[in-house]
Amino acid sequence: MWEGMFDPNLYDQMHIEGQSAVALTVFAVGRYLDAYLKTFLISAEQHFMLGLPVTYYVFTDEPEKVPNVTLNAKRRLKIIQVQKYSRWQDISMMRMKTISEVIETDIRHHSGYVFCFDVDQEFKGRFGSEALGDSVALLHAHFYKLPKDRFTYDRNPKSKAFMQTGDFYYHAAIFGGLWENVKNLTDTCYANIMEDKLYDVEALWHDESHLNKYFWLYKPSKLLSPEYCWDPSIGDMTDIQVTRLVWAPKHYETLRT
Ligand SMILES: CC(=O)N[C@H]1[C@@H](OP(=O)(O)OP(=O)(O)OC[C@H]2O[C@@H](n3ccc(=O)[nH]c3=O)[C@H](O)[C@@H]2O)O[C@H](CO)[C@H](O)[C@@H]1O
Ligand SMILES: [Mn+2]
Protein backbone atom coordinates (compact mmCIF):
# COMPACT_ATOMS: atom_id res chain seq x y z
CA MET A 1 0.00 0.00 0.00
CA TRP A 2 1.38 3.34 -1.07
CA GLU A 3 -0.20 6.77 -0.90
CA GLY A 4 -2.13 7.36 -4.12
CA MET A 5 -2.92 3.65 -4.66
CA PHE A 6 -6.15 3.55 -2.72
CA ASP A 7 -9.25 5.53 -1.77
CA PRO A 8 -9.25 5.70 2.04
CA ASN A 9 -12.99 6.37 2.16
CA LEU A 10 -13.80 3.16 0.30
CA TYR A 11 -11.77 1.11 2.76
CA ASP A 12 -13.29 2.88 5.75
CA GLN A 13 -16.83 2.40 4.42
CA MET A 14 -16.21 -1.30 3.77
CA HIS A 15 -14.79 -1.93 7.23
CA ILE A 16 -17.41 0.12 9.05
CA GLU A 17 -20.17 -1.77 7.20
CA GLY A 18 -18.41 -5.06 7.86
CA GLN A 19 -18.05 -4.13 11.53
CA SER A 20 -14.34 -4.82 11.56
CA ALA A 21 -12.70 -4.62 14.97
CA VAL A 22 -8.98 -4.33 15.55
CA ALA A 23 -6.69 -5.41 18.37
CA LEU A 24 -3.34 -3.64 18.71
CA THR A 25 -0.63 -5.31 20.78
CA VAL A 26 2.32 -3.35 22.14
CA PHE A 27 5.02 -4.21 24.69
CA ALA A 28 6.51 -1.67 27.08
CA VAL A 29 8.83 -3.59 29.37
CA GLY A 30 11.45 -2.05 31.64
CA ARG A 31 12.62 1.41 30.62
CA TYR A 32 10.75 1.31 27.32
CA LEU A 33 7.56 2.22 29.16
CA ASP A 34 8.67 5.66 30.34
CA ALA A 35 10.58 6.32 27.17
CA TYR A 36 7.95 5.55 24.53
CA LEU A 37 4.51 4.33 25.59
CA LYS A 38 2.68 7.60 26.16
CA THR A 39 3.70 9.11 22.83
CA PHE A 40 2.82 5.88 21.08
CA LEU A 41 -0.69 5.70 22.54
CA ILE A 42 -1.57 9.37 22.22
CA SER A 43 -0.47 9.43 18.60
CA ALA A 44 -2.33 6.18 17.88
CA GLU A 45 -5.54 7.80 19.08
CA GLN A 46 -4.94 10.55 16.52
CA HIS A 47 -4.13 8.34 13.54
CA PHE A 48 -4.66 4.59 13.99
CA MET A 49 -7.84 3.08 12.50
CA LEU A 50 -9.99 6.08 13.35
CA GLY A 51 -13.69 5.24 13.23
CA LEU A 52 -13.15 1.55 14.00
CA PRO A 53 -13.34 -0.18 17.37
CA VAL A 54 -9.81 -0.69 18.64
CA THR A 55 -8.63 -2.56 21.71
CA TYR A 56 -5.09 -1.84 22.85
CA TYR A 57 -3.31 -4.68 24.63
CA VAL A 58 -0.42 -3.16 26.56
CA PHE A 59 2.04 -5.73 27.94
CA THR A 60 4.28 -4.50 30.70
CA ASP A 61 6.11 -5.58 33.83
CA GLU A 62 4.86 -2.45 35.65
CA PRO A 63 1.09 -2.08 35.06
CA GLU A 64 0.71 0.78 37.56
CA LYS A 65 3.00 2.94 35.41
CA VAL A 66 0.88 2.78 32.25
CA PRO A 67 -0.16 6.38 31.47
CA ASN A 68 -3.80 7.36 31.52
CA VAL A 69 -4.66 8.20 27.93
CA THR A 70 -8.09 9.50 26.92
CA LEU A 71 -9.53 7.21 24.28
CA ASN A 72 -12.00 7.95 21.49
CA ALA A 73 -15.42 6.29 21.44
CA LYS A 74 -15.49 2.50 20.87
CA ARG A 75 -11.87 2.18 21.94
CA ARG A 76 -10.44 0.62 25.09
CA LEU A 77 -7.17 -0.40 26.62
CA LYS A 78 -6.26 -3.58 28.46
CA ILE A 79 -3.11 -3.90 30.51
CA ILE A 80 -1.52 -7.31 30.84
CA GLN A 81 1.37 -7.98 33.17
CA VAL A 82 4.31 -9.90 31.77
CA GLN A 83 7.63 -10.90 33.20
CA LYS A 84 10.77 -8.98 32.32
CA TYR A 85 13.30 -11.29 30.74
CA SER A 86 16.83 -10.32 31.65
CA ARG A 87 18.11 -10.28 28.06
CA TRP A 88 16.59 -7.71 25.68
CA GLN A 89 16.76 -10.30 22.93
CA ASP A 90 14.34 -12.46 24.94
CA ILE A 91 12.04 -9.51 25.72
CA SER A 92 11.77 -9.02 21.98
CA MET A 93 11.51 -12.68 20.91
CA MET A 94 9.19 -13.89 23.63
CA ARG A 95 6.55 -11.44 22.44
CA MET A 96 5.59 -14.15 19.97
CA LYS A 97 4.47 -16.48 22.75
CA THR A 98 2.59 -13.81 24.69
CA ILE A 99 0.75 -12.55 21.60
CA SER A 100 -0.31 -16.08 20.70
CA GLU A 101 -1.66 -16.65 24.21
CA VAL A 102 -3.72 -13.48 24.31
CA ILE A 103 -5.15 -14.15 20.85
CA GLU A 104 -6.34 -17.50 22.17
CA THR A 105 -7.74 -16.29 25.49
CA ASP A 106 -9.09 -12.85 24.55
CA ILE A 107 -8.57 -11.25 21.15
CA ARG A 108 -10.32 -13.91 19.05
CA HIS A 109 -13.55 -13.34 20.95
CA HIS A 110 -13.60 -9.60 20.22
CA SER A 111 -11.49 -8.62 17.22
CA GLY A 112 -11.19 -10.09 13.74
CA TYR A 113 -7.90 -8.31 13.07
CA VAL A 114 -4.69 -8.05 15.08
CA PHE A 115 -1.82 -5.62 14.57
CA CYS A 116 1.41 -6.06 16.55
CA PHE A 117 3.65 -3.04 17.07
CA ASP A 118 7.01 -2.10 18.54
CA VAL A 119 6.57 0.70 21.05
CA ASP A 120 9.49 2.87 19.92
CA GLN A 121 7.55 4.69 17.23
CA GLU A 122 5.05 7.52 16.77
CA PHE A 123 2.07 7.88 14.47
CA LYS A 124 2.24 10.99 12.29
CA GLY A 125 -0.40 10.45 9.63
CA ARG A 126 -3.30 8.24 8.65
CA PHE A 127 -2.68 4.55 9.50
CA GLY A 128 -6.12 3.43 8.44
CA SER A 129 -8.26 0.50 7.41
CA GLU A 130 -6.43 0.19 4.09
CA ALA A 131 -3.72 -1.52 6.14
CA LEU A 132 -6.05 -4.34 7.20
CA GLY A 133 -5.72 -7.62 5.37
CA ASP A 134 -5.62 -11.38 5.81
CA SER A 135 -1.88 -11.37 6.48
CA VAL A 136 0.04 -8.09 6.51
CA ALA A 137 3.79 -7.47 6.35
CA LEU A 138 5.84 -4.29 6.27
CA LEU A 139 8.72 -3.45 3.90
CA HIS A 140 11.71 -2.40 6.00
CA ALA A 141 12.58 1.25 5.34
CA HIS A 142 16.31 0.53 5.15
CA PHE A 143 16.02 -2.38 2.73
CA TYR A 144 13.12 -1.79 0.36
CA LYS A 145 15.36 -0.33 -2.35
CA LEU A 146 18.39 -2.55 -1.84
CA PRO A 147 19.28 -5.54 -4.00
CA LYS A 148 18.31 -8.87 -2.44
CA ASP A 149 21.87 -9.92 -1.74
CA ARG A 150 22.04 -7.14 0.86
CA PHE A 151 19.08 -8.47 2.85
CA THR A 152 20.18 -9.49 6.34
CA TYR A 153 18.38 -12.83 6.52
CA ASP A 154 19.73 -15.38 8.96
CA ARG A 155 22.49 -17.26 7.13
CA ASN A 156 23.29 -19.79 9.82
CA PRO A 157 22.14 -23.24 8.62
CA LYS A 158 21.82 -24.31 12.26
CA SER A 159 19.03 -21.79 12.90
CA LYS A 160 15.40 -22.41 12.01
CA ALA A 161 15.39 -18.87 10.58
CA PHE A 162 18.02 -19.82 7.98
CA MET A 163 17.18 -18.76 4.46
CA GLN A 164 19.18 -18.06 1.33
CA THR A 165 16.72 -16.26 -0.88
CA GLY A 166 13.53 -14.37 -0.17
CA ASP A 167 11.00 -11.98 -1.60
CA PHE A 168 11.56 -8.85 0.50
CA TYR A 169 13.12 -7.87 3.79
CA TYR A 170 10.31 -7.37 6.26
CA HIS A 171 10.46 -5.24 9.39
CA ALA A 172 9.33 -6.91 12.60
CA ALA A 173 8.18 -3.61 14.12
CA ILE A 174 4.73 -4.17 12.55
CA PHE A 175 2.85 -7.24 11.41
CA GLY A 176 -0.80 -8.14 11.42
CA GLY A 177 -3.77 -9.79 9.81
CA LEU A 178 -6.77 -11.90 10.70
CA TRP A 179 -6.32 -13.34 14.17
CA GLU A 180 -6.13 -16.87 12.79
CA ASN A 181 -3.14 -15.93 10.65
CA VAL A 182 -1.37 -13.92 13.34
CA LYS A 183 -1.87 -16.87 15.68
CA ASN A 184 -0.23 -19.18 13.18
CA LEU A 185 2.61 -16.68 12.66
CA THR A 186 3.34 -16.22 16.36
CA ASP A 187 3.04 -19.95 17.12
CA THR A 188 5.40 -20.85 14.28
CA CYS A 189 7.98 -18.18 15.13
CA TYR A 190 7.86 -19.08 18.82
CA ALA A 191 8.32 -22.79 18.13
CA ASN A 192 11.30 -22.02 15.90
CA ILE A 193 12.82 -19.65 18.47
CA MET A 194 12.54 -22.37 21.12
CA GLU A 195 14.04 -24.99 18.83
CA ASP A 196 17.00 -22.67 18.24
CA LYS A 197 17.42 -22.30 22.00
CA LEU A 198 17.55 -26.08 22.31
CA TYR A 199 20.55 -26.09 19.96
CA ASP A 200 22.01 -22.97 21.54
CA VAL A 201 21.72 -20.79 18.46
CA GLU A 202 20.10 -17.36 18.09
CA ALA A 203 19.02 -15.91 14.77
CA LEU A 204 20.90 -12.85 13.56
CA TRP A 205 18.02 -10.39 14.04
CA HIS A 206 16.07 -12.42 16.58
CA ASP A 207 12.29 -12.39 16.04
CA GLU A 208 12.77 -10.39 12.83
CA SER A 209 14.78 -13.22 11.27
CA HIS A 210 12.07 -15.73 12.17
CA LEU A 211 9.38 -13.39 10.84
CA ASN A 212 11.20 -13.13 7.53
CA LYS A 213 11.44 -16.91 7.29
CA TYR A 214 7.73 -17.22 8.10
CA PHE A 215 6.65 -14.75 5.42
CA TRP A 216 8.88 -16.53 2.90
CA LEU A 217 7.05 -19.81 3.56
CA TYR A 218 3.58 -18.31 4.17
CA LYS A 219 3.27 -15.36 1.83
CA PRO A 220 1.57 -12.24 3.21
CA SER A 221 -1.54 -11.07 1.35
CA LYS A 222 -0.76 -7.38 1.77
CA LEU A 223 2.48 -5.39 1.93
CA LEU A 224 2.74 -2.03 3.62
CA SER A 225 5.17 0.49 2.14
CA PRO A 226 7.79 2.15 4.36
CA GLU A 227 5.35 5.07 4.71
CA TYR A 228 3.90 2.88 7.44
CA CYS A 229 7.16 2.79 9.43
CA TRP A 230 9.66 5.37 8.28
CA ASP A 231 13.05 6.16 9.75
CA PRO A 232 13.45 9.95 9.57
CA SER A 233 17.22 9.58 9.57
CA ILE A 234 17.03 8.22 6.00
CA GLY A 235 17.92 11.12 3.74
CA ASP A 236 16.35 9.91 0.51
CA MET A 237 12.60 10.51 0.79
CA THR A 238 11.84 10.50 -2.93
CA ASP A 239 9.35 7.59 -2.61
CA ILE A 240 7.71 8.83 0.58
CA GLN A 241 4.80 11.22 0.11
CA VAL A 242 3.42 10.77 3.61
CA THR A 243 4.96 9.47 6.81
CA ARG A 244 2.26 7.62 8.72
CA LEU A 245 4.44 6.27 11.49
CA VAL A 246 8.06 7.14 12.27
CA TRP A 247 10.78 5.50 14.29
CA ALA A 248 11.43 7.20 17.61
CA PRO A 249 15.05 7.88 18.53
CA LYS A 250 16.81 4.76 19.84
CA HIS A 251 18.80 4.94 23.05
CA TYR A 252 19.98 1.35 23.36
CA GLU A 253 22.78 2.12 25.86
CA THR A 254 20.43 3.53 28.49
CA LEU A 255 17.22 1.65 27.70
CA ARG A 256 18.39 -1.92 27.23
CA THR A 257 20.64 -2.23 30.27
C1 LIG B 1 16.44 -3.52 12.19
C2 LIG B 1 16.73 -3.99 13.53
O3 LIG B 1 17.76 -3.69 14.08
N4 LIG B 1 15.84 -4.81 14.09
C5 LIG B 1 16.04 -5.50 15.31
C6 LIG B 1 16.02 -4.56 16.47
O7 LIG B 1 14.83 -3.79 16.43
P8 LIG B 1 14.59 -2.59 17.39
O9 LIG B 1 15.87 -1.88 17.61
O10 LIG B 1 13.49 -1.79 16.88
O11 LIG B 1 14.17 -3.35 18.72
P12 LIG B 1 13.54 -2.68 20.01
O13 LIG B 1 14.63 -2.21 20.89
O14 LIG B 1 12.51 -1.69 19.60
O15 LIG B 1 12.81 -3.93 20.68
C16 LIG B 1 11.62 -4.45 20.13
C17 LIG B 1 10.40 -4.12 21.04
O18 LIG B 1 10.42 -4.96 22.19
C19 LIG B 1 9.92 -4.23 23.30
N20 LIG B 1 11.00 -4.08 24.31
C21 LIG B 1 12.29 -4.39 23.99
C22 LIG B 1 13.29 -4.29 24.95
C23 LIG B 1 12.95 -3.84 26.26
O24 LIG B 1 13.79 -3.71 27.15
N25 LIG B 1 11.65 -3.53 26.52
C26 LIG B 1 10.66 -3.63 25.59
O27 LIG B 1 9.50 -3.34 25.84
C28 LIG B 1 9.44 -2.88 22.79
O29 LIG B 1 8.09 -2.98 22.41
C30 LIG B 1 10.34 -2.69 21.58
O31 LIG B 1 9.81 -1.75 20.68
O32 LIG B 1 16.12 -5.32 17.66
C33 LIG B 1 15.09 -6.31 17.84
C34 LIG B 1 15.35 -7.08 19.10
O35 LIG B 1 15.10 -6.28 20.20
C36 LIG B 1 15.08 -7.31 16.70
O37 LIG B 1 16.28 -8.03 16.68
C38 LIG B 1 14.96 -6.55 15.43
O39 LIG B 1 15.06 -7.45 14.38
MN1 LIG C 1 11.77 -1.01 17.72
Which pTM value belongs to this model? 0.96
In a domain, 1, yes or no: no
Structural domain for 156, as ranges: 8-255
When divided into structural domains, the chain yields a total of: 1
DSSP, residue by residue, 62-97: -GGGS------TTEEEEEEE----SSHHHHHHTHHH
In a domain, 2, yes or no: no
In a domain, 139, yes or no: yes
Please give the backbone phi and psi of residue 210, each rounded to the nearest 5 degrees, phi first: -70, -35
Closest CA to 45 of 130, 102, 131, 122: 122
In a domain, 95, yes or no: yes
In a domain, 3, yes or no: no
The yes-or-no verdict on residue 133 having pLDDT over 90 is yes
pLDDT of residue 253: 87
> Under DSSP, is residue 121 helix (H, G, I), strand (E, B) or coil?
strand
Using CB distances shorter than 6 Å, the residues near ligand 1 are: 27-30, 32, 88-89, 91-92, 118-120, 172-173, 205-208, 250, 256
Closest CA to 116 of 216, 40, 19: 40
In a domain, 159, yes or no: yes
Range 235-256 average pLDDT = 95
CA distances from 170 to 85, 138, 154, 216, 226 (A): 25, 5, 13, 10, 10
Length of the chain: 257
pLDDT of residue 230: 98
Q: 68: Cβ–Cβ under 8 A, 6 or more apart, which residues? A: none
Ligand 1 center to residue 133 CA distance, Å? Answer: 24
77 and 38 in contact (C-beta within 8 Å)? no
ipTM for the predicted complex = 0.93
Q: What is the CATH number of the domain that holds 108?
A: 3.90.550.10
> What is the spatial distance between Cα 251 and Cα 257, in angstroms, rounded to a whole number?
10
